[in-house]
Amino acid sequence: MTRRTIVAGNWKLNKTIAETRRLIQLFRNRLAGIDTRATVLVCPPTVAIETAVDAAKGSAVGIGAQNVFWEPGGAFTGEVSVPMLEAAGVEFVLIGHSERRSIFGETDAEVNRKLKAVLGGDLTPIVCVGESLEEREAGRTEEVVRRQVETGLSEVAPDHAHRLVLAYEPVWAIGTGRTATPEMANEVHRLIRGRLVDMFGGRSADGISILYGGSVKAENAASLMAETDIDGVLVGGASLDAESFTEIVRSAP
Ligand code: 13P
């Protein structure tokens, strides 16, 4: 089974509405000049989503949200819902990014509620997992990632499995300039795929794209994506620059 290659940019808490319009215009112009099979998307901050959708219209750039709440509406101050994102023209949503987990205390159980809400609609979820430095050094990578996958994806109907995208982002590699080697990352991707096989069966698991994230740059993207189980990248810092993000798209197989 051929899995789709995905190159996603996570802008985190960066770019105003005006900067979002400019960056997407720059990026879509550069992207138009290259031939790629990859699915390409960027996740701007919530306040700039409407502008991003508008600026990307008619191009190959998809728009994702960085977070979502599981309830469709109601008294939940500060949150944004699945129907709201869908109505805004969003196609993808990150769930359980490590910054959501470590700074905002998001748990595996909450990741699971969000995922189930997203699968109740039409958005494509990108579920993020990954161990901290402390956990890696204690030899707990497998245990931690396994728990995140099992709990985060529990009760997902097998016929929804084909809509899942996962991202392995070792926390120690995020924003640190310290990338996992392609072999190291692939080892964890294989472990994740093994769990997906157990949960959803071989055929479904084989079709789920697993992205790598953590200090991905134009210089290391190709070697990461050349690995057997690395089906794309989730890029933070290097996605804030149209030229470097275009180079990363160009290096997708
Ligand atoms: P950096 O690429 O800046 O390390 O961020 C990775 C990340 O967290 C993407 O979601």
In a domain, 244, yes or no: no
C-alpha angle 119/71/111, rounded to 5°? 55
Catalytic residues: 97, 169
pTM assigned to the model: 0.97
Query: pLDDT grade, residue 175 (50/70/90)?
Result: confident
> Ligand 1 centre and the CA of 248: distance in Å?
13
In a domain, 4, yes or no: no
List the structure tokens of 182.
Answer: 């392609």
In a domain, 79, yes or no: yes
- Return the residue whose CA atom lies nearest to atom 9 of ligand 1: 236
Q: What is the mean pLDDT of the chain?
A: 96
Q: Is the CB of 215 under 6 A from ligand 1?
A: yes
Q: 13: burial class by Cβ within 10 Å (0-12, 13-18, 19+)? A: exposed
**192 and 170 Cβ atoms separated by less than 8 Å:** no
Cα distances (angstroms) measured from residue 119 to each of 44, 114, 127, 182, 232: 21, 9, 12, 31, 21
In a domain, 136, yes or no: yes
Host domain of residue 204: 68-231
What whole-number percentage of the chain has pLDDT above 90?
A: 95
**CA dihedral for 62, 91, 189, 217, sign (positive or negative):** positive
In a domain, 59, yes or no: no
Give the gyration radius of the chain's Cα atoms. Answer: 17
Mutation test residue for ligand 1: of 166, 212, 234, the one with most atoms within 8 Å of CB: 234
Q: How many domains does the chain have?
A: 1
Q: What torsion do the CA atoms of 36, 176, 170, 69 make, to the nearest 10 degrees? A: -80
Q: Is the CB of 42 under 6 A from ligand 1?
A: no
Q: Is the CB of 221 under 6 A from ligand 1?
A: no
In a domain, 153, yes or no: yes
- What CA–CA distance (Å, rounded) separates 130 from 94? 14
- What CA–CA distance (Å, rounded) separates 40 from 124? 13
Side chain identity at residue 233, one-letter code: V
Q: Residue 94 has what pLDDT?
A: 98
- pLDDT of 1 over the 70 cut: no
Give the CATH number, domain containing residue 151.
3.20.20.70
In a domain, 211, yes or no: yes
**Backbone conformation region of residue 213, classed left if phi is above 0, alpha if psi is from -120 to 50, else beta:** beta
Side chain identity at residue 75, one-letter code: A
- pLDDT of 170 over the 70 cut: yes
- What CA–CA distance (Å, rounded) separates 72 from 82? 6
User: pLDDT tens-digit profile of 38-78?
Assistant: 999 999 999 999 999 999 999 999 999 999 999 999 999 99
Q: Is the CB of 207 under 6 A from ligand 1?
A: no
> Ligand 1 centre and the CA of 211: distance in Å?
12
In a domain, 106, yes or no: yes
- pLDDT of 180 over the 80 cut: yes
- What CA–CA distance (Å, rounded) separates 133 from 138? 8
- pLDDT of 185 over the 80 cut: yes
Residues whose CB is less than 8 angstroms from the CB of residue 125 and which lie 6 or more positions away in sequence, other chains included: 92, 93, 95, 114, 115, 118, 119, 163, 164, 165
